[in-house]
Amino acid sequence: MLNRFFGKPKQEAANTLTTLDKLNETLEMLEKKEKVLLKKAAAEVEKAKEFAKVRNKRAAIQCLKRKRLYEQQIEQLGNFQLRVHDQMIMLEGAKATTETVDALRTGAAAMKAMQKATNIDDVDKTMDEINEQTENMKQIQEALSTPIGAAADFDEDELEAELEELEGNQLVLFLKSAQPRKMNLLHCRLRWHFKAYTRELFFSLCVLALG
Does 6 share its domain with 95? yes
pLDDT in tens, 175-194: 556 555 555 555 566 566 65
Does 19 share its domain with 87? yes
84, 27 Cβ separation under 8 angstroms: yes
Does 112 share its domain with 186? no
Is residue 82, in this structure, part of any structural domain at all?
yes
pLDDT at 1: 43
Residue 4 has pLDDT above 50, yes or no: no
pLDDT in tens, 22-69: 988 999 999 999 999 999 999 999 989 998 888 888 999 999 999 999
> How far is residue 196's CA from residue 203's CA, in Å, rounded to a whole number?
11
pLDDT at 5: 43
pLDDT at 92: 87
**178 CA to centre of own chain:** 57
pLDDT at 187: 59
Q: Which residue has the higher pLDDT, 176 or 101?
A: 101
Is residue 19, in this structure, part of any structural domain at all?
yes
Q: Is residue 154 left, alpha or beta, with left meaning phi > 0 and alpha meaning psi from -120 to 50?
A: beta
Is residue 67, in this structure, part of any structural domain at all?
yes
Q: What is the CATH number of the domain that holds 84?
A: 1.10.287.1060
Residues 6+ apart with CB under 8 A from 83: none
pLDDT in tens, 134-151: 888 888 887 776 655 555
pLDDT at 154: 58
pLDDT at 184: 58
State the chain's mean pLDDT as an integer.
77
CB count in 10 Å sphere of residue 78: 13
| pLDDT range class, residue 6, cuts 50, 70, 90 | very low
> How far is residue 99's CA from residue 131's CA, in Å, rounded to a whole number?
44
pLDDT at 29: 94
Does 22 share its domain with 89? yes
Is residue 85, in this structure, part of any structural domain at all?
yes
The residue from 76, 100, 117 where one domain ends is 117
Domain range enclosing 15: 2-117
Q: What is the mean pLDDT of residues 120-131?
A: 80
> How far is residue 83's CA from residue 187's CA, in Å, rounded to a whole number?
101
Is residue 154, in this structure, part of any structural domain at all?
no
| pLDDT range class, residue 71, cuts 50, 70, 90 | very high
pLDDT in tens, 145-170: 665 555 555 566 766 776 677 766 66
Is residue 131, in this structure, part of any structural domain at all?
no
